[in-house]
Amino acid sequence: MPLTRFARALRPAPAVFLVLLAASATAQPAVEAPLDRVLGAVVGTDGLVDYRLLAREHRADLDAALAAVAEQDPSALRTDDQKTAFLLNAYNAHVLALVLQTDAANLEDEDLFERFFETPVRIAGGAATLNQIEHGALRRQDRVDGAAVPRAVQALRPARVDRRVHVGLNCAAVSCPPLGRRAFRASTLDADLGRAWRAFVASPRAARVDGGRVVLSSLFDWFADDFETPRRPLGDLLAGAFASRPDAAPLRRALAGRTAADLRADRDVQFDYDWTVNRR
């Protein structure tokens, strides 16, 4: 067969191509639509959650989103953005359900970390803990909580670590970057994570000056390896991120040029995280 005829034979028919394109663009509507309804109804503009309203009027939508998370065909998640959006939505939806199940007030005080983050949940035809979703899939770690990450979880990994996932995940604590009021979508993921990152670094959740001390979110301590590079220490990244804040000058003086190790060793820098549940 001549090359031109061979290439023509391999070319999909226009209708088939459009179907494949549509399927790729809408891999997760069964997750996103009910989660949109939940988040739009129960998350306030401050990111706090009305869990009573969720339990009373929107539990069916949350259950529908969780069922779709459990039944998601992983082979339909073809791109990094599709995988990342799915994983963020799955994590956040399960955290909402866990708050309802436990009626938690403070995850640290009530010793709920294992219940929330180390107990398997249903996802994409299998099971994974929230820690495995966060660290094994989104952060591409091979071992989580002392055990190898299951292959099914590894199959959901994006090709690279995007540090902005830390502002997309919500662990139900008031110090967490707040929940958005709609589900993540592959088509708008970059813009949505960019917007969430800018909102977080502009807020007291990320940093504040308290007397002579700089208080930073513990996210920058726990996940320093995701934020810091050999060419750019953590302090420089944060000083740049905080540049438009009213308190940018004292933050820059405390942070510029300093590595994560430097900041941990400085008595005038504190990492802090409040595990009180983000209940409206």
For the segment 146-151, the average pLDDT, to the nearest whole number, is 95
Per-residue pLDDT reduced to its tens digit, 56-107 = 999 999 999 999 999 999 999 999 999 999 999 999 999 999 999 999 999 9
Q: How does pLDDT run across 5-35, given as a tens digit for each residue?
A: 333 444 444 444 334 444 444 468 999 999 9
Q: Return the structure tokens found at 104.
A: 């938690």
Residue the block writes with tokens 């109804």:
41
**Calpha distance 160→255 (Å, rounded):** 27
Residue type at position 225: D
As given in the structure block, the two tokens for residue 131 are 């820690």
Run of H or E including 195: helix 189-201
> CA-to-CA distance for 46 and 77, rounded, in angstroms?
31
- From CA 234, how far away is CA 257, in angstroms rounded? 8
In this structure, the dihedral spanned by the alpha carbons of residues 92, 277, 225 and 136, taken in order and rounded to 10 degrees, is -40
Q: Contact at 8 Å (CB) between 5 and 21?
A: no
Check residue 8 and give its pLDDT.
41
pLDDT in tens, 126-145: 999 999 999 999 999 999 99
**By the 8 A CB rule, do 169 and 92 touch?**
yes
Model pLDDT, residue 4: 38
Q: Is 0.85 surpassed by the pTM of this model?
A: yes
> What are the tokens at 29?
């509507």
